[in-house]
Chains A and B, each alone.
Chain A
Amino acid sequence: MRAAWLDALFILVLLALVTWLAHAQFAVLGMATSLMLYLAVMLLAACRLPLWPALGMAVIASITINYFLIDPRYTFAVADLASWAALAGFLLLALVVTSLVRRLRQQTQQAEAARAQAELARQLADHLALCDDAQAMLRSSTALLRLHTGLPMQMLRLQLDGTLSSLEPTGEPITVNPAAVRWVMQNGKALGPGTANWPEAESSLLPLLQLPSEAPVLWLPPSTAASDWLPQLRSLLGQIGLAYQRLNTQAEARALERKAEREALHNTLLSSLSHDMRTPLTAILGASSTLLYQADALDAAAQQRLLQAIRSEALYLDDATDNILGLVRLGQADRSITLDWQSAEEIVADVLARYRQRVTTVELQAEVGSELLIRADARLLTQALANLIDNALVQHQGSAPLLIQAYRLDGRVRLAVADRGPGFPAGFSVNSIERFAQPLQPGRVRQGRGFGLGLAIVQAIAGLHQAELCITARDGGGSVVSLVFPPQTVPA
């Protein structure tokens, strides 16, 4: 306001100057040039002043011209028709110029505002595309709007206990009736000044979505700037609302995915418990009861064989328990895993030491590169490798050794088990593991001594380590199943 007032004073001073010049040098300048000087001042006034002051200036200029320049001078009378025409012409021209400039200014301002709005919409769209968390998106989008509009708006959420909370707790406490927020949420309609509902309210509340929802609501403090921004804010909130819905849907899908994953593990766990535990328990019960009640009828060699059976089934149970406990850990929400640098050589050696005791029919051959470190959970990693070996032992045929390899390729450490078996069935891919890895259907016979848990667990373990499970055909027959770990840099 003060600037406009100064501008008006400046124009008045200019008018006085021009009047003095025209009056003093009228002989040189003449009427036409003098009027042009006045017109120039009017043009400046139209540029610098609002419409009505600019028009006022035009009238003041006309009166001044009449008083100082038109005969008879120093009176408001006009002597002849030509002078009337000059005066009227000047006034008309001044009015036209003022209104033209005014319209031009308005158009420029509108273009400027439209450009700013488009820029804000573009920035918001870019921003929304990058967000992957609904709450964080709301917080940062509100911050963006605040920055652009200069309005201290906030996103409010109605809590379960009926109180309000701001998404950004740093803001000043604001007093809003929770019932009003609930109304906005339930109706999906805006409320407050500049809206159709309760315009006499102190501040505005704008919904994210134009339909009933649980989504937070934007609080806008009362100000004239706020009502200017209102239409655009509502369309921007529409964009934010869509992003909010999209992110929520994605989060729900992810939660469902995790749930399905847990259920798959749970099912594997149950079938494993019922099958892999019960079979060896049956063998132990049978052998020990035979020894207890029918020892007399057995020769020493038979007794020895039964004792051996009890021992080997118990060892098997011990391993199966490990696997099942591992599964339980995998299924836990917090997944209590301990990541540390593990030596591939030590992992392979640990698993092989167990298998070489148990598997006597197939030779297990290790090819392990030196100084290969993997960031992993030692127990889960041995479990994964054991499962790969179990799987390979079921497939493996002939007298060639089963090959267990650890090596680095393209900066990634790989743990691989290569068998000489029939290979995976046609159509098998890593993505269809779930379907193929449910071998424990009722009535199905266990092949070999696998734990029946298979590749699904290996894949779950791989997932926890950001590793990939790769299955490829092996040159000369059989398949290679490998765990490919992400590139990792061992600290110096």
Chain B
Amino acid sequence: MMNPSPVSVHSLLVVEDDAQIRDFLQLSLRAAGYVPLLARTLAEALQLWQDKQPAMLILDLGLPDGDGLSLIQTLRARSDRPILVLSARQSEQDKVQCLNQGADDYLAKPFGVDELLARIRVALRRMERMQLRDQRYLVEALQIDLADGLVRLHGETLHLSPLEYKLLMQLAQHAGRVMTHRQLLQAVWGAEYVDDTHYLRIHMGRLRAKIERDPAAPRYLITELGIGYRLAAS
């Protein structure tokens, strides 16, 4: 930890206006081996993003100088680096908007440091996998080969309907990341079905029935209530 190689040290840009939370984030991120870059406003954040090229953005949505959504749009237009949004639990609409605009993930406040670090790890790993063009998903008993499209559970090939298969592939391509209802409906059913959430609920239910040991306590197919779904990445 004292002398990490320069490549493995990730600098993370944290945009947060509350001093207490900024302090807590700085301490815990540094303790976890990252280099936190702190910004209080969107303007500062944009400057740091350009100057320091951080590996990832952690953005609090309720900033005083404007709208985090526009920052997400601006940064997403320039790079693929992960964006994690911090927001109040009640504001589903905000979160869905951010995710639809290209944020990778969200964390509802209040959160524990363990949750935060897990999300950061997942996001950074996905970034690396994307760079390595890794086409395999393997978590516990579930194995998905994105290149040849094979899904195995406990080593046995799973038989899925075409819709279930497309749905699972979408989630696997973005493993660990929340896919909003709209994103999934658009990718699997098409743009004209983005409001037909009942299709999604039914087919996710069938997927859970085939994949999960206990569908009421899912291990792989995680429901983000009111927002979307994610395929657990670890």
Contact = CB atoms under 8 A, between A and B. Distances in A.
Contacts of A349: 215-218, 223
Nearest to A347: B225
Contacts of A352: 216-217
Contacts of A314: 110
Interface stretch (A200-208, A260-268, A336-344, A429-437): A336-344
B133 interface: no
Interface string A357-386: 000000000101011010000110010000
Nearest to B111: A318
B198 A345 contact: no
Interface string A284-323: 0000000000000000000000000001001000100010
B201 interface: yes
Contacts of B112: 311
A348 B216 contact: yes
Contact of B226 (A345, A371, A378, A490): A378
B223 A370 contact: no
B216 A343 contact: no
Contact of B223 (A322, A350, A356, A379): A350
Contacts of A353: 217
Nearest to A318: B110
Given A345-B216, A352-B216, A368-B215, A373 B198 contact: yes
A173 interface: no
B54 interface: no
Contacts of B100: none
Contact of A350 (B197, B201, B206, B225): B225
A393 B205 CA distance: 28
Contacts of B90: 322, 325, 379
A491 interface: yes
B209 interface: yes
B202 A373 contact: yes
A373 B225 CA distance: 14
Contacts of A356: 217
A341 B226 CA distance: 10
Nearest to B209: A370
A368 B225 contact: no
A199 to B, nearest CB: 64
Interface residues of A, number: 29
Given A345-B208, A346-B223, A366 B202 contact: no
Interface SS majority for chain A: helix
A341 B195 CA distance: 10
Tell which of A338, A349, A368, A490 has the most Cβ of chain B within 10 Å. A349
A345 B215 contact: yes
A379 B225 contact: yes
B205 A370 contact: yes
Tell which of B89, B206, B225 has the most Cβ of chain A within 10 Å. B225
A252 to B, nearest CB: 34
Interface string B200-234: 01101110110000111110000101100000000
A247 to B, nearest CB: 38
B217 A343 contact: no
Chain B interface size, as a band, is 20 to 34
B216 A368 contact: yes
Given A322-B89, A349-B218, A352-B217, A342 B223 contact: no
A345 B205 contact: yes
Contacts of B94: none
Interface in A157-208: none
B216 A341 contact: no
B216 A366 contact: yes
A371 B208 CA distance: 11
Contacts of A366: 214, 216-217
Contacts of A340: 197
A379 B226 contact: yes
Interface string B146-183: 00000000000000000000000000000000000000
Contacts of A382: 225
A61 B206 CA distance: 100
Contacts of B209: 370
A368 B201 CA distance: 14
A491 B225 CA distance: 21
Nearest to A353: B217
B92 interface: yes
Contacts of B217: 349, 352-353, 356, 366
A455 to B, nearest CB: 23
A379 B227 CA distance: 11
B10 to A, nearest CB: 27
B205 to A, nearest CB: 5
B201 A341 contact: yes
A371 B202 CA distance: 6
Given A325-B90, A379-B225, A341 B198 contact: yes
B222 to A, nearest CB: 9
A338 B214 CA distance: 28
A379 B205 contact: no
A490 B198 contact: yes
A368 to B, nearest CB: 5
A378 B112 CA distance: 24
A40 to B, nearest CB: 81
A373 B199 CA distance: 10
Contacts of B202: 343, 371, 373, 490
Nearest to A342: B201
A385 to B, nearest CB: 11
B225 A346 contact: yes
Q: Which 9 A-B pairs have the closest CB atoms?
A: A341-B198, A366-B216, A343-B201, A378-B226, A346-B223, A350-B225, A349-B216, A378-B225, A368-B216
Given A343-B204, A348-B216, A379-B92, 19 more contacts: A322-B89, A338-B226, A343-B201, A345-B205, A345-B216, A349-B215, A349-B216, A349-B218, A350-B223, A350-B225, A366-B216, A368-B215, A368-B216, A370-B206, A371-B205, A371-B206, A373-B202, A491-B196, A491-B198
7 contacts: A338-B92, A345-B215, A349-B215, A370-B206, A370-B209, A373-B201, A491-B196
